[in-house]
Amino acid sequence: MQSIIYTRVSSKEQERDGFSIPAQIKLLKKYAEDNNFQVVKIYEESESAKGSGRKQFNEMLDYIIAKPEIKYLLCEKTDRLSRNFKDIATLDQLINENDLTIILVKENSELSKHSRSHEKFMFGIKALMAKNYVDNLSEEVKKGMNEKASQGIFPGGSIPLGYLIDKNTKKIYVDSSRSHLIVEMFQMYAEKKASLSLISAWSKTKSLKMPRSGRSVSKSQVERILKNPFYYGEFRWAGKIFKGSHEPIISKSLFDSVQNAFKSHNKPHLNRKSFAFGSLIVCSECGCKITAQIKKGKYVYYHCTGMRERHKKSYVPETNIVQQFRNGLLPISINQKSADKILDKFKEQEEIIYSNQSKDKHRIEQRLAQLQKWSEQCYIDKLEEKITESHWQNITAKWGDETATLQNSMAVNGSPIHKIKTVEKILELLQVLPSLWDTRNLTDKRKMVDLLYSNFVLDGATLCYTYKKPFNNVAEGTQSKKWRGRRDSNSRPPA
Ligand SMILES: [Zn+2]
């Protein structure tokens, strides 16, 4: 049986003991040997800076697709293998189409076409946990940005019109060819001399253009400019206001009177954004975006914009759209009983891992102590020139590898209790999805839709969509019955 091995350490883990690639390889090779797998290729992913992607992972996918005789992928744990929804999607496809079996050695579990539903479900849950981990990371990154921001350093994003950035020093300075036009905009609006659309038209006559697109300043861009605290010397970041280190071009009082002018207008203008499910759904007939409009002053209807071709349009009430989204929650919802069952199964798996660990713990600790003692003795021998430099290097490298392997086999990645708590939380969420939906307003419903679904198509009055990964695994695991939403069939990796 031909198999390949995939190993990975993140940049963070490289600084810590017990996460080495050699240790993972050793574990997986031993597993292969014990179970009569022939290892044809080993992938070693050592992640460096963020955003560098996962080269080895992608090469591995290409390799599996090119070589259908490879039926097994050995990996230490789920979190080595999948870091995001897209990975899960791709792996899922390989399981189903190439008949691949993924063996997660430390978790004592395998995933194949024939996996039982609870195993697939578990895979979905673990992927959700991996996602959580990614969220935590991005939280860390944000923290760093926040620190920058509180020092008055604009943490990135596009530089507001009227300013420029020095590419070398990263210093933001006033664009004197445009800044006076920005000041005039503020004055016109504060003095109620012009509306947003008038200011937009006026800026066209002044040849004021957006730096990136080179297009004229639209009405909504004018609004964004007039509401941006950057111009009086502060900036907004992650929902907070920070004092900037750049030079202001208007006074705070001018800014404030503009904000007051906005308040006094106070007419609810309904643009596309104010519809909960605007810019989300595509027409099955012509591929246009589905838009919404209000009828009889309060009923919202969704329909094709009909920009590309004329065809018969359906007008679907928003309440109907909401209901169709709600239908999709049922296949990914579970009841108390199955939640308990799943939790038991998960605990069982964790206990196997944990007991294996503690069984070996004593033996490993002794061996580690011995290696430590030998290394110290050996170092003295080297100093006293009882052994040669190269001999010393060889032997310490060997013992170093063994130490890393042993430490890895002992490393508990997050205590089992913490992991179980996380799973409990996810299971709780999956139990309350429909009631959560019912109690939320449209804005929150849209957030839930964004989290759970993708590929929205309106076919007549029928709304089609797919689950985002790994909720489709959850759906597969909980129900086999058909429903209106389609299975995801996109995101095939490049061959
Ligand atoms: Zn259409």
Residues with Cβ within 5 Å of ion ligand 1? 283, 285-286, 288, 304
Cα 306 to averaged position of ligand 1 atoms, centre (Å): 5
Cα 169 to averaged position of ligand 1 atoms, centre (Å): 49
Cα 254 to averaged position of ligand 1 atoms, centre (Å): 46
Cα 304 to averaged position of ligand 1 atoms, centre (Å): 5
- Give me the domains of the chain, ranges plus CATH numbers: 2-148 (3.40.50.1390), 163-265 (3.90.1750.20), 272-314 (no CATH)
Q: Under a CB-based contact definition with an 8 Å cutoff, are residues 25 and 5 in contact? A: yes
Cα 493 to averaged position of ligand 1 atoms, centre (Å): 30
Distance between CA atoms of 449 and 444, rounded to whole angstroms? 9
Cα 213 to averaged position of ligand 1 atoms, centre (Å): 28
Cα 123 to averaged position of ligand 1 atoms, centre (Å): 38
Among 130, 117, 27, 20, residue whose Cα is nearest residue 84: 130
Cα 303 to averaged position of ligand 1 atoms, centre (Å): 8
Cα 463 to averaged position of ligand 1 atoms, centre (Å): 13
Cα 462 to averaged position of ligand 1 atoms, centre (Å): 13
Partnered with residue 46 across adjacent β-strands are 9
Q: What is the pTM of this model?
A: 0.40
Which residues have CB under 8 Å from 399's CB, separation 6+? 371, 374, 375
In order along its 495 residues, the chain shows pLDDT tens digits of 899 999 988 766 665 655 678 888 988 999 999 999 999 999 998 876 455 467 888 899 889 989 989 999 999 887 787 665 567 667 877 887 888 999 988 877 788 887 766 666 666 666 666 555 445 545 555 555 566 666 666 666 678 999 988 877 778 899 999 999 999 999 999 887 778 888 998 898 888 888 777 888 998 899 999 999 999 998 877 667 788 888 999 999 999 999 988 887 654 444 444 688 988 999 998 888 898 988 887 789 999 987 777 888 899 999 999 999 999 998 888 888 878 887 887 788 777 777 776 676 778 888 889 988 888 888 888 888 888 888 888 888 888 888 877 777 665 544 566 677 777 777 777 877 887 788 778 887 888 888 889 999 999 999 999 988 767 777 776 654 333 333 333 333 333
Cα 309 to averaged position of ligand 1 atoms, centre (Å): 7
Cα 318 to averaged position of ligand 1 atoms, centre (Å): 17
